[in-house]
Amino acid sequence: MVSRTIFCLSAFLVLSVLSTSASSSEELSPYYYYHVCPQALPAIKRVVEAAVCKERRMGASLLRLHFHDCFVNGCDASVLLDSSPTIDSEKFAIPNNNSLRGFEVVDQIKLEVDKVCGRPVVSCADILAVAARDSVVALGGPTWPVLLGRKDSTTASRDQANKDLPPPFLDLPALISNFKRQGLNERDLVALSGGHTIGPAQCFTFRNRIYNKTNIDPEFADQLKSSCPLKGGDSNLCSSRPNTRTI
């Protein structure tokens, strides 16, 4: 639990860098909605806690959803936009398609927040940021103040998502280069990679490593092989850490 919470908090700090650098000229503040709608953050927390209570894996999914939003043109909720004649939705980018989860929870949060605020005053970008934090807390991790006041994007880019989001098959030099393009260093890379330890991974993303690589704990590799056969079972879920149950 200790390593998990440290990584989650570190991952948040990296996302904060992405978020702040890509925000508007207005200063972000954890008190942005304090006067206009003080009920907003408690409402987000209630929906997230209910979703995680129903399915613990959803906590990891909401954190990942925020990461995939922030890594493409900043934390602007562009990942939530559906396709239209003028929008090429990021939902169908290779790293996101049939992979990102939690959209229905975000919809529930938006409905609840608009209800308690009496009107749509909270941006979806801020909802994603707060939901990521509340998910970590709901899973037993740390809390932190979330800077608020982001504006929602009106555009999305599937091409940019395909270009920016790092696939699971990159080696270390390629990952370092990928993160540098986002203004992030090796420490940030370790933090965000560690943030993935709170959820399971699909078999196809690590099959090659457990069957063909030697720089992995053999007992852990055998544990993964029991759920991830050499052929088939691409969507089988396995824990990203040895001897732990998935969430």
Binding-site residues from annotation for heme b: 196
Annotated binding site for substrate: 166
The CA–CA distances, whole Å, from 14 to 92, 122, 142, 197 equal 25, 23, 15, 16
- Angstrom distance (rounded) from CA 27 to CA 150: 9
Annotated binding site: 69, 72, 74, 76, 78, 90, 166, 196-197
Which residues 6+ apart lie within 8 Å of 139 measured at CB?
52, 56, 59, 60, 198, 247
How many Cβ atoms from other residues are within 10 Å of residue 2's Cβ? Answer: 6
Structure tokens that stand for 39 in this block = 């009920």
Strand partners, 239: 200
Say which amino acid occupies 50. Answer: A
- Angstrom distance (rounded) from CA 91 to CA 79: 6
Q: Look up 68 and say whether it is catalytic.
A: yes
Closest CA to 197 of 56, 55, 2, 4: 4
Catalytic residue from among 57, 68, 110, 150: 68
Q: Which sequence positions are flagged as catalytic?
A: 68
